[in-house]
Amino acid sequence: EVQLVESGGGLVQPGRSLKLSCAASGFTFSNYYMAWVRQAPKKGLEWVATISTSGSRTYYPDSVKGRFTISRDNAKSSLYLQMNSLKSEDTATYYCARQIAAPYWYFDFWGPGTMVTVSS
Three-class DSSP labels, 37-79: EEECCCCCEEEEEEECCCCCCEECCCCCCCCEEEEEEHHHCEE
- The answer to whether residue 109 forms part of the interface with other proteins (CB under 8 A) is yes
Residues 54 and 82: beta-carbon distance below 8 Å: no
Nearer of residues 72 and 99 to other proteins, judged by Cβ: 99
- The answer to whether residue 1 forms part of the interface with other proteins (CB under 8 A) is no
Q: How big is the site for other proteins, counted in residues (CB under 8 A)?
A: 21
Query: How many C-beta neighbours within 10 Å does residue 46 have?
Result: 14
The nearest distance, CB 107 to other proteins, in angstroms, is 7
Binders of other proteins among residues 27 to 66 (CB under 8 A) are: 37, 43-47, 61-62
The β-bridge relationship of strands 114-118 and 10-12 is parallel
The nearest distance, CB 77 to other proteins, in angstroms, is 19
| Binding-site ranges for other proteins (CB under 8 A) | 37, 43-47, 61-62, 95, 100, 103-113
